[in-house]
Structure 1
Amino acid sequence: MALRTAILAIMASMAAGWITIKRTQPDETSTSEYAKTCTELAPGVNYCAEIGRKNEHILVDVRSTYVPEQCIRKVKTDSQLLLVFTGDAGPSADGPWQRFITQEDFTVAEALKLNSGQSLEGFNLGIEGLCEGTKATITFSPQVGFDDPQTKMARPANVLEGSTLRYHVEVVKVLKVAPDGVPYRPCFFSLIDVDGSEDIDEVELARHFARIKRPMPPSVMNEDKDEDGRISFDEFSGPKIPRAAREAQDQEDMLATSGTKSEL
C-alpha cells in the first residue's frame, strides 16, 4: 500500500543556503517554498530534496498577472514550451533595466525545453508549475542567472556581472511530445480562434498578428474560400486538430494535471 501513496521526502537544505520561490497571484495572495528536485522512485512515490547554494540565500520571485480559469496543462521540469517573453537585466547604479532578449512571434519560434541548457536555472524554477495560458513576471538573483557557473548560456553583452534578471513571459502552449522527444505541432487554429466558434474572423486575425507583433498579410483572407468573411476550420491551411480530438486531449491532460484518475 505504501507504494501507492505519494510520499514527499524532503532533505535539509545545503548548509546555510537555500533558494526561495515566492509566487504571487493576480489577487495578491502569495506563497513561498524552497526549491527542490524530485525523483519518481515508483508510481506515486516521489523522493524530493531541497536545492540551494552554500552560504547564499537566493530569491526567485514569480508574480502572475493572468491565470486561466481552468488549468489544462502545467509546466513540468522537462516540459517543451511555446512562449512569448522579454528579458531585462538590472537595474544598476548607471541606469534602468536593460532589455537583452525578446521573443514575440511564437509561431516561428523553436520550442524551449526546460532544464536542457536552453534556459537559466532561475527561469526554470520560476516557470515550473505555471498553467498553460498564464502570464507572469519572473525575477531572480544573478546566482541563478548569468552568474551561475553551471549555466550553458552565453552572457549577452549588455548584461553586467551581478545583474538581477526579469522576464515577462506568457506560457502560450505546453507541447505534447512524441516518444522520440520531438514535440508535436500545436493547433494554431484554436490559438487564433479565441472565442471557440470554429471560425476565424478578421477581428481575431488582427488580434493574433498584433499579439505576435507582425503586420497582417493582405492575402490572409484568401483562405476564406466561400467569401463569408470568416475562415472556417476546413478552410484553414495551417496546423490544426479537429475539435473532438482537442477536447478529448484537454480532458485527459486536465485530469493528469489535477492528479485525478479515471476509474473503470
Structure 2
Amino acid sequence: MGSSCRFAMCVFVYIFYLLVLGVCGEIEVFEVDGVKVERLKIPETCDFSVQDGDQLKIHYRGTLEDGTEFDSSYSRNSPFAFTIGKGQVIKGWDIGIKGMCIGEKRKLTIPPDKGYGDQGFPPKIPGGATLIFETELIDID
C-alpha cells in the first residue's frame, strides 16, 4: 500500500472514530444543588418522569471516589424501593433522581453534605466522603 493510500486510510479511520464518538459518546452532564448528574443512558421515549411522592424501584451501585464499592442492589438481585422526596434516602438521591425516566441510567456524584456528612456511615463510608452512584430507574408506581 502506497503512502497516499495509508494516509487516506488513516484519515478515514480518524473521521470514523470522531463520528462514533460524537454519536455514542455524548453524555449530558449538569449540576443541581451541588450534585453532579451524568445521564449515561437516555430512553428514546419518556411517558413519565420522577416527581416527589413517586414510589420508585432503582438498581444502583455505590462507590467511594477511589472506586471502593460500599453497596449494590445488583449484588442482591433486587432493585431498591423507596418514595422520593420523603427523606427515605440521602439528599443527593432525592436531588439527582428527580426527572429520571424508566430505563434511564445516571451517575450521581454526591458531596458529603448531601450524603452522610462528616459522620459518614461506618464501617463502609468514612466521614466527609463524596459518594458516586450509578443508578438505573426500573419502575415508577
TM-score, normalization by structure 2: 0.71
Matched residue type, 2:102: E
Matched residue type, 2:124: N
Aligned position for 2:39: 64
| Residues 94-150 of structure 1: CA deviation (Å, up to 9, x unaligned) | xx23211110223xx55211233321001110011111110111111001100178x
| Residues 223-261 of structure 1: CA deviation (Å, up to 9, x unaligned) | xxxxxxxxxxxxxxxxxxxxxxxxxxxxxxxxxxxxxxx
Aligned position for 1:86: 61
Higher relative contact order (CA 8 A, sep 6+): 2
Matched residue type, 1:142: P
User: What 5-or-longer segments of structure 2 have no aligned partner?
Assistant: 1-24
Report the CA distance shift for 1:163/1:135 in structure 2 as closer, same or farther (over 3 A): same
Of the candidates 129, 133, 142, which is equivalent to residue 99 of structure 2?
129
Identity, in percent, stands at 25
Paired residues of 2:58 and 2:138 also in contact (CA < 8 A): yes
How many residues align structurally? 115
Does 2:85 match 1:157? no
User: What 5-or-longer segments of structure 1 have no aligned partner?
Assistant: 1-25, 36-58, 176-264
Paired residues of 1:88 and 1:165 also in contact (CA < 8 A): yes
- The structure that is helix-richer by fraction is 2
Aligned counterparts of 1:31 and 1:83: Cα–Cα separation in 2: 20
Aligned position for 2:140: 174
Q: Which has the larger radius of gyration?
A: 1
Matched residue type, 1:27: E
Does 2:110 match 1:140? yes
Report the CA distance shift for 1:30/1:102 in structure 2 as closer, same or farther (over 3 A): closer
RMSD: 2.2
Aligned position for 1:199: none
Q: Secondary structure at the match of 1:78?
A: coil
